[in-house]
Homo-oligomer: A and B are copies of this chain.
Amino acid sequence: MKKYRPNISDVARLAGVSTATVSRALSNPSLVSEATRKAVQGAIATTGYRLNETARNLRHRRTGGIVALVPNLANPFFSQILSGIASVLGPAGYNLLIADTRTAGADRLLDYAEPSRADGLIILDGSLPAAALTGRIPMVEACEWVPGLAAPRVKIDNRAAAGLAVNHLADLGHSRIGHVVGPAGNVLSVARLAGYEDTLRSRGLPLMQSAIYQGDFSLESGRVAAEVWLQQPQDTRPTALFLASDAMACGFIGEVQRHGLSVPRDVSVVGFDDIELIAHISPPLTTIRQPRTAIGQIAAERLLNRLRGGEDTDQDTILSVELIIRASTAAPRL
């Protein structure tokens, strides 16, 4: 008389039918007569029966779960993508499993790409080893991507997006335009830097090593970049900067202001991502908006489509970005 958990045979016994019939009544009611269906439903109600997903999954050779591999769960940038993913996966009957690739060891990575762990994988971390992931369960990549991994990608054109930012600054009349790059080796950093350089060249603007600052997407690295910039001679340092993330742009502006300078009077700043907060700081930040929720949703949809056996052309989905002009950019001081 303990808290006995009723199973399908308890229901079957009570309803006076076989377990096969109960199973059919639940998953394919049209195969069962009206009368027995009622009986089964009654038995379910009185026993309080609930289906055991694990057993069903075992039989179906699936897990009902999708793993998202994120580089750093604590980074708010990802939470909106995850939100988009969750909004698609939930209604589709899949569980969203989240694994932090920094917390989890590299060996654990293999476990996550196991068919017995998850039915599919969404990769948000481009720094993972391609070898460990190829030929495993179905997967898609979102935002970042792993070079050499054959998986559909849902992303933006980072190179062109960087161009939008730099062109905006050039249009305002800036000629010494700097760039704070993301983490070394990161695919996004590389693409955005390339876009920055492309655009300077196409506009006939000087490309100076001293105008490129190392960063890692974090607030603190933006602050450090500002320290470097502040120490450069005023007549040669950039009058405008494009930073590869909004977080860095925040850190940069904060430090510059703390030294008594003003944005955009003394320096124009463009960020990247359009995280919610930066519209509310002062000055509100000019930035490149990435459709983060949509990226997550589309990635999830493409994965589900694949799992359902749908045709998938393996083509990348490129979502469009938008230059959001706010108050952190202006013409250079004469």
Contact = CB atoms under 8 A, between A and B. Distances in A.
Interface of A: 5, 50-55, 57-58, 63, 65, 72-76, 78-80, 82-83, 86-87, 90-91, 95-100, 103-104, 108, 114-117, 219, 222-223, 247, 250-251, 253-255, 257-258, 276-277, 279-282, 284, 293
Contact of A280 (B254, B276, B284): B254
A284 B219 CA distance: 13
A133 to B, nearest CB: 15
Given A97-B95, A98-B96, A280-B223, A79 B87 contact: no
A74 B5 contact: no
A91 B253 CA distance: 39
A90 B75 CA distance: 18
Contacts of A276: 219
A65 B97 contact: yes
Copies of chain A in the complex: 2
A100 B80 CA distance: 12
Contacts of A53: 63, 114, 116-117
Nearest to A95: B97
Given A83-B100, A282-B282, 13 more contacts: A51-B116, A54-B54, A54-B58, A73-B82, A73-B83, A78-B79, A82-B98, A83-B103, A86-B98, A90-B99, A90-B104, A96-B99, A250-B281
Contacts of A284: 254
Given A58-B58, A97-B95, A117-B53, A76 B76 contact: yes
A93 to B, nearest CB: 10
Nearest to A51: B116
A317 to B, nearest CB: 21
Nearest to A52: B116
